[in-house]
């Protein structure tokens, strides 16, 4: 009897500690209370904003090679300002190639602002070479999450595999470069602005695997949109700053943000697009799990809309939740969506509706992204633009390279991992 008296309090304490750890790991995506706002007025001030024609001033950038070729070109041609906003910036070849280009621009007198979320270090320190470009020291607030990620996913990679040359110290010390990288902002956005006139936005991170291969030998597939025109930049920054947005019938920026007031609009926009779809929906996304999106997709398919979904056969994170989500979708759709599993790591975040509307950006389709993270996306009215033919050609290639799943029983997953991934995502 005495033993039972001791065991039950100990068991209770153990359970409470376990619950606390699970909370820290999976739920601690608190709204940042004090996000510093860098002076983006330097981007807006003293410039005339001329009309921009989307049909001639928008370009789809496919994968990391095309994206970084465009980014490096813009850096080399920059005359006044560069603004970079990134979630992942790894201390590897690509990370240092970008830094070298920026240092050369800064030496020419270009004023550069870099905004980097410290939360991204969680993934920088648990994948690939496990080296963060800006965050060299251990981050105690991320230790528990880092431990669980390393245990859940045995990521290949050589710990501490340093690049031949690292420019991290030089970049942060340059007088023409302002770096904000010391706060966790829950900001998953990825975008570049050059000389007040060119915006590059999407889902490409700053790391080797976007250009070459990841540590597991997989190619990455991703997208960015390049918008050339001062009006696009002005409209985008107005949206981020909570100002009155200059209307544009061809482009709408769809964001999740905490400041100046909490505005989370990505999920509602996705649900609205799916509800209004008449003929076809094509989605490429790497991370799934949001129940409302899955439910709306099932309803969309059951209305007779042709739904095609592309996702990686094996993702770097939450593969089991992805497969569970797709199985649920097939089981709850009378008119079965076409599910394509690709051997590449499809890191893209893209929704194409009726070949008329394209939503592209940084948002995943899991609950963390849609409800707890700051994200930036662009919704484009496609008719007449050069984006659609290029995108359709790439989608055709992906269909040919993918495995088409026709039955829910084809999708097998680890229920235990899917459970924890669902809590996390």
Closest by CA position to 254, among listed 355, 344, 378, 366: 378
Which residues contact residue 363 at a Cβ distance below 8 angstroms, ignoring those fewer than 6 apart?
188, 256, 266, 270, 349, 369, 370, 375, 377
Tell me: cis bond preceding 260? Omega within 30 of 0 counts. Answer: yes
* Dist CA 254 CA 293 (whole Å): 16
Domain ranges (residues) in the chain:
53-241, 251-424
Q: What is the pLDDT of residue 420?
A: 83
The CA-atom distances, in angstroms, between 207 and each of 42, 108, 266 are 28, 25, 26
* Dist CA 366 CA 346 (whole Å): 15
The pairing of strands 220-221 and 345-346 is parallel
Can you identify the CATH homologous superfamily of domain 251-424? Endonuclease Chain A (3.30.870.10)
* Dist CA 116 CA 179 (whole Å): 8
Q: What is the pLDDT of residue 152?
A: 72
Q: What is the pLDDT of residue 83?
A: 98
| CA angle (343, 347, 352) in 5-degree steps | 100
Strand, coil or helix: 123: helix
Closest by CA position to 235, among listed 226, 243, 225, 246: 246
Task: Give this prediction's pTM.
Answer: 0.88
Q: What is the pLDDT of residue 266?
A: 97
* Dist CA 218 CA 220 (whole Å): 6
CATH architecture label of 53-241: 2-Layer Sandwich (3.30)
Query: Does this chain's domain 53-241 share its CATH topology with 251-424?
Result: yes
Q: What is the pLDDT of residue 147?
A: 78
Q: How high is the mean pLDDT in each 10-residue block of the chain (425 residues)?
A: 55 55 48 45 45 69 97 98 97 95 98 96 90 89 78 62 76 95 95 97 97 90 96 93 76 92 94 98 97 97 97 94 97 93 95 97 97 96 89 97 94 90 74
Summary count for the chain: helices (H), strands (E): 15, 18
Q: What is the pLDDT of residue 141?
A: 81
Ramachandran class of 229: left when φ > 0, alpha when ψ lies in -120 to 50, beta otherwise: left
* Dist CA 328 CA 409 (whole Å): 11
Closest by CA position to 347, among listed 154, 187, 255, 213: 213
* Dist CA 145 CA 424 (whole Å): 10
Give me the residues paired with residue 283 across strands. 309, 351
Q: What is the pLDDT of residue 47?
A: 46
Which residues contact residue 235 at a Cβ distance below 8 angstroms, ignoring those fewer than 6 apart?
245, 246, 248, 251, 253
Closest by CA position to 152, among listed 128, 126, 133: 126
Please check whether residue 205 is in contact with residue 242, taking contact to mean a CB–CB distance below 8 angstroms. no
Question: What tokens were used for 34?
Answer: 């004090």
Strand, coil or helix: 282: strand
Find where tokens 């996913």 sit.
Answer: 153
Q: In 44-173, where do the E strands start and end?
A: 58-62, 81-86, 111-116
Q: In 138-210, where do the E strands start and end?
A: 177-180, 191-194, 198-202
The pairing of strands 81-86 and 223-228 is unpaired
């Amino acid at each position: 009897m005495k033993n039972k008296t001791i065991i039950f309090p100990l068991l209770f304490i153990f359970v409470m500690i376990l619950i606390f750890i699970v909370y820290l790991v999976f739920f601690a995506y608190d709204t940042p209370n004090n996000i510093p706002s860098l002076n983006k007025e330097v981007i807006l001030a003293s410039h005339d904003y001329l009309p921009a024609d989307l049909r001639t001033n928008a370009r789809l950038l496919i994968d990391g090679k095309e994206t970084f070729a465009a980014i490096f070109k813009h850096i080399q041609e920059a005359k006044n300002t560069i603004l970079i906003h990134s979630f992942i910036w790894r201390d590897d070849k690509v990370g240092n190639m970008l830094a070298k280009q920026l240092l050369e621009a800064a030496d020419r007198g270009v004023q550069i602002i870099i905004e980097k979320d410290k939360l991204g270090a969680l993934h920088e320190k648990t994948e690939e070479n496990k080296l963060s470009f800006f965050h060299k020291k251990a981050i105690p607030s991320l230790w528990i999450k880092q431990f669980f990620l390393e245990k859940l996913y045995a990521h290949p990679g050589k710990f501490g595999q340093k690049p031949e040359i690292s420019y991290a110290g030089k970049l942060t010390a340059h007088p023409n470069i302002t770096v904000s990288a010391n706060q966790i902002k829950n900001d998953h956005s990825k975008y570049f602005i050059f000389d007040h006139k060119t915006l590059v936005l999407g889902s490409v991170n700053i790391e080797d695997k976007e250009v070459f291969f990841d540590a597991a030998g997989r190619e990455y597939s991703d997208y960015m949109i390049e918008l050339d025109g001062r009006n696009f930049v002005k409209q985008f920054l107005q949206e981020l700053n909570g100002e009155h947005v200059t209307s544009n019938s061809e482009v709408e920026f769809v964001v999740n943000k905490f400041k100046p007031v909490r505005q989370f609009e990505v999920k509602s926009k996705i649900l609205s697009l799916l509800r209004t779809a008449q003929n076809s929906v094509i989605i490429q996304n790497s991370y799934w799990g949001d129940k409302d999106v899955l439910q709306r997709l099932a309803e969309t398919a059951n209305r007779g809309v042709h739904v095609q979904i592309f996702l990686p056969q094996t993702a770097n994170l939450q593969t089991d939740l992805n497969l569970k989500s797709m199985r649920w979708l097939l089981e709850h759709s009378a008119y079965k969506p076409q599910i394509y599993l690709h051997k590449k790591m499809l890191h893209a975040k893209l929704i194409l509706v009726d070949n008329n509307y394209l939503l592209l950006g940084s948002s995943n389709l899991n609950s963390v992204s849609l409800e707890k993270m700051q994200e930036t996306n662009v919704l484009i009215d496609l008719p007449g633009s050069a984006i659609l033919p290029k995108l359709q050609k790439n989608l055709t290639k992906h269909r040919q390279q993918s495995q088409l799943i026709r039955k829910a029983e084809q999708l097998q997953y680890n229920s235990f991992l899917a459970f924890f991934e669902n809590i996390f995502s």
